[in-house]
Chain A
Amino acid sequence: MVEAGQAALVIAFVVALYVPIASFVGSWQKAPELTASGRYGFYTVPVLLLIATAVLIYSFVIRDFSVKYVFENSNLAMPQIYTWVAFYAGNAGSLLFLAVVLAIASVIAVLTIRKRLPYTAPFATGIMALIIAFFLGIIVFMANPLTVLDFVPTDGQGINPLLIHFGMFIHPPLQMSGLVLVAIPFSIAVGALAARRGGRDEWVDLGRLWGMISWLILTIGLLLGSWWAYTILGWGGYWAWDPVENSALMPWLAMTAFVHSIMVQKRRGMFRMWNMVLIIVAFTLAQMGMFINRGGPVPSVHSFAQSAMGWLFLIFMAVTMVAAIAVFFWRLESLKSRSSLESPWSRESAFLGQNILFLLVAFVTLWGTIFPIFSEAAQGTVITVGRPFFDLVNGPLLLAIVFLMGVGPLLPWRRATVRNLLRTLRVPLSVGLLTGLVLVIIGIRQPPAVVAFATLSLVLAGIINEWVRGTRSRHRKGEPYLAAFGNLLSANRPRYGGYIVHMGILMLAVGAIASSFYSTQRDLVMEPGEVASVGSYTFEYMGVEDRVYSDREESLASFTVFKDGEYVGNMEAYRAFYPNFRIAATKGAIRSTLIEDFYIVPSEFQDGGQAVFRVLVNPLVWWMWASGPIITLGIAFGLWPVRQPAMAAARLPRGVQVARG
Chain B
Amino acid sequence: MPAVIFRLNKLLYLLSSQVSARTLLAGAVFALLLTACAVTPEYYTGLDARAQSLNKNIMCPICPGESIDQSQATIALQMREIVREKLSEGQSDAQIRNFFVDRYGPSVLMEPPTDGFSILAWIVPPVVVVVAIVAFLLAIKGMRGNEQRTELADSGNGPSDPDNLERYYQRIEAALEPSLTRATTTGNDASNGTEESNG
Contact = CB atoms under 8 A, between A and B. Distances in A.
A364 B125 contact: yes
A341 B136 CA distance: 12
A301 B65 contact: yes
B111 A650 contact: no
Interface stretch (A84-92, A437-445, A559-567): A437-445
A434 interface: yes
Interface in A498-537: 510, 514, 518, 520-523, 534-535
A584 B18 contact: no
Contact of A423 (B153, B192, B199): B192
Contacts of A510: 37
A116 interface: no
B13 to A, nearest CB: 11
A30 interface: no
A51 to B, nearest CB: 39
A382 B107 contact: yes
A392 B184 CA distance: 48
Contacts of A341: 140, 143-144, 147
B82 interface: no
Contacts of A538: none
Interface string A60-94: 00000000000000000000000000000000000
Contacts of A247: none
B70 A649 contact: no
A22 B109 CA distance: 55
Nearest to A612: B77
Contacts of B122: 389
A342 B52 contact: no
A580 interface: no
A237 B168 contact: no
A433 B11 contact: yes
A453 B154 CA distance: 43
Interface string A396-424: 01000000000001111100100010111
Interface of A: 201, 234-235, 237, 240, 242-243, 266-270, 299-301, 337-344, 349, 352-353, 356, 359-360, 363-364, 367-368, 371-372, 374-375, 378-379, 381-389, 392-393, 397, 409-413, 416, 420, 422-424, 426-427, 429-431, 433-435, 437-439, 442, 444, 449, 453, 456-457, 460-461, 466, 469-470, 473-474, 476-479, 491-492, 494-495, 510, 514, 518, 520-523, 534-535, 584, 586, 595-596, 603-604, 612, 617, 619-620, 645, 647, 649-650, 654, 656-658, 660
Interface of B: 8, 11-12, 15-16, 18-19, 23-24, 27-28, 30-32, 34-35, 37-40, 42-44, 48, 52, 56-57, 59, 63-67, 69-72, 74, 77, 80, 105-113, 116-118, 120-122, 124-125, 128-129, 132, 135-136, 139-140, 143-144, 146-147, 150-151, 153-154, 159-160, 162, 168-169, 171-172, 175-176, 183-184, 186-187, 190-199
